[in-house]
Every structure is written in structure tokens, then in C-alpha cells.
Chain A
Amino acid sequence: MQQDLPVAAGNGLLHRRAFLAGGGTLAAAFTGYALSDTAAAQQLTDDSWSRGRGALIPEYASPSAFEKGVARTLSNPRGEPRTQHARTPHHLLNGTFTPNGLHFVISHSGAPDIDPATHRLVIHGLVRRPLVFSLDAITRYPLVSRMHFVECGGNSAPMFSNEPVQAGVQAIHGLVSCAEWTGVMLSTLLDEAGIDPGATWIIAEGSDSMALSRSVPIAKALDDAMVAIYQNGERLMPGNGYPMRLVLPGWEGNMQVKWLRRLELVDQPAMSYYEARTYAQVLPDGTAYQFYFLQDVKSFITHPSPGLRLNGPGFYEISGLAYSAGGRIAKVMVTADGGKSWAEAALQEPVHAKAFARFRIPWRWDGSPVVLQSRAWDEAGHVQPTRAEVVARRGQTKAPVTNLAAFPSQHYNGPTSWAVETDGNVRHVYA
């Protein structure tokens, strides 16, 4: 039977369409593994939940109580006077969009409790006529809905550690999420205010207590920027900017200003705290990047990953997430032998631009130690670099990172490697 399996790469990676192209023959071949796991058959009887009426259906549903472990991890659960991070548990989710309650949040001073009836958005500065918009007015514009990821510039920062941190997807890559955002194109509102030809940047500012502000080039504002008011069909979550936020598809999360209240058109960047200091990255030669803007092409495997133990040899699906500021993900390659051989993964359709792409590939694990890794390409030709390439350009820490909440640097987009041990446990390695 072994030689009938459509092997695509070393250590048991199978062709991405093994279950589609091969039809019944292949499926039957795999069923053999499943049957061996269920040898101890038993008589089926009604379970307790099948013998009485079920629970009341609530007005607003929450996940099953059995799913209470599917939650964000909090860096500052008591709200001490510093930044709060809530990280998405990607290893416990699937598909391509992030449920609103699990969307990552970073807030530097909590989530303001904004009354939507009195919230205002002002557009002023180098415009023909300054305008103010209520939420009601914004809601009446022609709205567009688009799938986009939002990623913190500091997501994946533990990957700058000179030795692999022993952590999983949530701790390492939990500061990225993907949602369907609905709102009005910013270009529509700017047209209405009339852009002065001298304007080159827009300062976007929130109504949080820190009045967080970032400078955005006008070209991005006119390209695909949106003032979003819905997130996955419902109004924005408080932590994600309720009642309105800037969405700059593919760009650094901190620039996509939440609780948006002011857009000022200017002829120079403000050099605000977060652009002049926080989101500028020190380089090995002592200079620093400024205005990184883009979240480069990246991918990581979510299943399996640390915390998801494999239950013995046999069939598993390897899957994960890929995304890029450069547009649609075009291809994801997966290796199970630490990079010696690669197989192309299937991409969940449709693949949206600047959004999560879910990749999947079937795998037959023989129980021996393996190293899994993914690598992504986008439609513009950008290739996810190796970790060695990232480190050569950006550097790494001189001592191992022990504080997972620290940000040694930002904008890591190299690969992540998971070692599967013979006992089925998965740990983080560099490969």
C-alpha cells in the first residue's frame, strides 16, 4: 500500500489533493489508519444530552462551555498603567477569519467607552473645507466589505531571540488577526473635503486617552484605506476601535488608528511617538528603519504546533496561515524534513488580497522525529525569507529571550519551525 500513496515530499508529506484527486482508492487507504484507532468497538446508546430538552437559546450566543479554553492570553490582566496585549489562539481556530471576541488587541491605555451617538470624525488641515461626520452619517455612505488581516508591527518578535523560545503560535504569532471589515472608503470622505494639492500626509488620531496618532501617506489613503464600522458583520469590538477605525490593508497595525476621531491633512509627517520612536527598528549598523509601513509576506503552521500533541502515528492534516501586504498569497510550500524537501500546500478558496490564506496539506506521520516548516509567496513575487536572511539584515538578541511579552525588535517575517517528537509533543526549534 505504501507505494500507492501520493507522496509529495520527505517524511510523509502527501500531495495536497490526495483526498480530492485520488478519489475512493486513496480515501480507503487512509481509512485503514483510522480503523486501527477504533478497534475497541462498543454498543452505542443515547447520551444524557439526547434524553431531555436542551438549554435555552440566548439572545447573544457564546461558545460551548467546553470551549472556554479557546481564549486570548492577556499581558496585563489587571490593567496596570501600561500597554495591554490580547493574543489570538491561532492553534485553536481554523479557516481564515478571526472571531471578534478572539481578535487580537493592543491598547496603550485601555478601550475607551465611546457613545456612538456623540462620537465625531473630523477631516481638516490642508482641505478645501473641513468637515465633521457623525457615525450616523458614515453609516449612510455606500459601504464596502473586504477581508483583511491586521498585524501588529511587533508580532512574531520572540523570533528575534538567538535561541528558540519555548512557546507556541499564540505567544509568538498571536498579534495578527483577520476579519471582514465593512466601512466607507477614505477616498470618498477625502473627496468630499477636497484635498489641497500641498497635502502629502494625513495624521490619523484616536479618541483614546493617549490620542494615539500616526502619519499616513496620502497615496495609501486614496488607494485602499477604509473607515471601518463593522467587523465580521457586527459593529467593531470596543478593543478593536468601536465605533470606527482606520483600516490600512496590509500595513502596520499601529497605523490603523482605532477609535478614530481626527484626520488632519498636512505637508510633512508628524513624527509622532509611535512612528519616530516605537515602531522604528534599530539595525546592526546602528542606523534604524523609519516608516516600515508594510507587513511583509509571512506564514506559520498552526496545526500541529506546541500544545497540540499528536495522538500516535497516522494521518494528520498540516495547516496554517499565510498573508502579505503584497496582495494575495500565491503559493505556500511545506517541509516535514527541516527543509530538505518541500511540497506545495492547497490554499482555501477564495484567496483574498491582504488577508489570511489558509493552507492545508495531508501528512502521514510515521512516528519518527520530524521538523515542520512553511514558506509563502505572494502574487507580487515577494518570498518569505529564511530566518538566517532576516537575522543577517536585522540582527538577533545576544542572550535568549525569556520574557515572551518583550519586543526585541519588530517586523519578523521569517519562517517558524516545529519539531514533532516521537511522543507526539511539538516544540519550537530553529531549522
Chain B
Amino acid sequence: MPRRHDGPQRHRDTEKIYLKPLCLCVSVARESAIAFGIAAMMYGGVRAQSPNLGTPIAEAEVAGWDISILPDGTGLPPGSGTPAEGATIFAAKCALCHGPEARGGTNAALVGGAPLTNGIDTAKTIANFWPYATTLFDFTRRAMPWQAPRTLTSDEVYALTAYLLSINKIIGAQDVMNAQTLPKVRMPNRDGFRPRFPEMIP
């Protein structure tokens, strides 16, 4: 069996120096109201050994980049839209690639989908696969239209989300999507997943 040099092992020891105070902080903080003060002191100790080259920035200044929507709705902006409004926007800005009425074009169809009973031969779709409706809002806003991402208004993204959920029979044709209603949409395959390594999920 080949012998290995011990360089990486020394790296690991260095990492433990970082890990220990953090682990302590987490366990202490969960039990005590004064924990954050203790944590700040301990972090202060670690930080004193750091070059400290980051520049403080206010969350308000990050807002222009802060576009992640979480499954519980955190991050959803004000605004609203309906399936009917979405149909008009889709025809103008999305059908070029995804086809009329989202039936597919040079890029994927966004309507329909077979049950997930055909193993890896089953195409994954909004209707048969996506676990959270918030992902639809998040991805449409951050990445679409492909040629001009982040040009849609919040109302337009809500409307497109409503349209895609409606043509997939997940919400009604009259349902309005907004920051309150979207996180409450239950996707059909919500419980169809299992973590590959459950012990690694926080």
C-alpha cells in the first residue's frame, strides 16, 4: 500500500481551530438568551487573528442582488398576477423558446408530464416533479427570459408563475398569486423526495 505524505492532515488540524469555537457557539446559543453575546466575544477572539479585509455593508445595499426566494416564501416581493395576465406575457416573452401555450419549442415544454412510474425515462416536469412553487418564481425571475434575465417586473413574474401553475392544473384559472398565496400552493410531488444522505441534511 502506498504511503502518503502528511501535509493534508496538518490542514485538517488547522480547520479544527475554526470549527471548535463555532460548534460551541451553536450549542450554547440554543440554550441561553445571553448566548449571542458570548458568541460575539468568541468570534471576536477568532476574528482578531483574521486579516479583517471585508467591508461592512448594510442589508439594504445588498437588496439589488438579494433575489433568493425560500420555500416558506421568504424573499417574495410585493405584487401579484393572475393566470390570464400570465398567458399574455408568456405569448410575448416566453413562447419563442417554450412554444405556444408552453407546449415546447427549441426548449422544454412547461405543461403536462407523465406519472413518475417509468424510472429514469420519465421527463421531470413542473406537474410531476417540482416540489415547491416558490422555485418557479425564483428561477423565472433570476434566469428568464434567457436572453434578458431579470427584466420582468414582480407582477409579471407572479403572473407567469400563476399561468404555469394554472395550465398544469395545480391552481385554478382565477387564482391570484402573490407573496401570501404562492408559498401555500402545494405541489403534487411535494413528498416524492428523499435525501441521498439524510445524515448530511442540517
Contact = CB atoms under 8 A, between A and B. Distances in A.
B117 A286 contact: yes
Contacts of A397: 120-121
Secondary structure dominating the interface of B: loop
A330 B70 CA distance: 41
A261 to B, nearest CB: 7
B143 A211 contact: yes
Q: How large is the interface on B (under 10, 10 to 19, 20 to 34, 35 or more residues)?
A: 35 or more
Interface in A260-307: 261-262, 264, 266, 268-273, 276-277, 280-284, 286-294
B13 interface: no
A108 to B, nearest CB: 8
A201 B192 CA distance: 22
Given A124-B62, A191-B46, A219-B202, A140 B129 contact: no
A222 to B, nearest CB: 6
A276 B187 CA distance: 12
Most buried by A among B46, B54, B116, B121: B54
B95 to A, nearest CB: 14
A130 B130 contact: no
Interface in B1-47: 1-2, 4-5, 8, 11, 15, 18-19, 22, 25-26, 29-30, 35-36, 39-40, 43, 46-47
A287 B195 CA distance: 11
Interface stretch (A7-15, A34-42, A182-190, A414-422): A182-190
B184 to A, nearest CB: 15
B127 to A, nearest CB: 12
Interface stretch (A52-60, A172-180, A343-351): A343-351
B109 interface: no
Given A137-B53, A270-B138, A396-B120, A194 B195 contact: no
Query: Closest 7 A-B residue pairs measured CB to CB?
Result: A131-B54, A197-B29, A200-B202, A137-B53, A395-B119, A273-B139, A210-B143
Interface of A: 80-82, 108-109, 122-124, 128-134, 137-138, 140-142, 144, 146, 160, 185, 187-189, 191-195, 197, 200-201, 203, 205, 209-213, 217-219, 222-224, 261-262, 264, 266, 268-273, 276-277, 280-284, 286-294, 328, 330-331, 346-347, 349-353, 394-399, 408-409
23 contacts: A80-B106, A124-B57, A131-B55, A146-B8, A187-B19, A188-B18, A191-B47, A197-B25, A197-B30, A203-B68, A210-B143, A211-B149, A219-B200, A222-B15, A266-B70, A271-B70, A277-B129, A286-B117, A288-B124, A290-B193, A293-B197, A351-B4, A352-B8
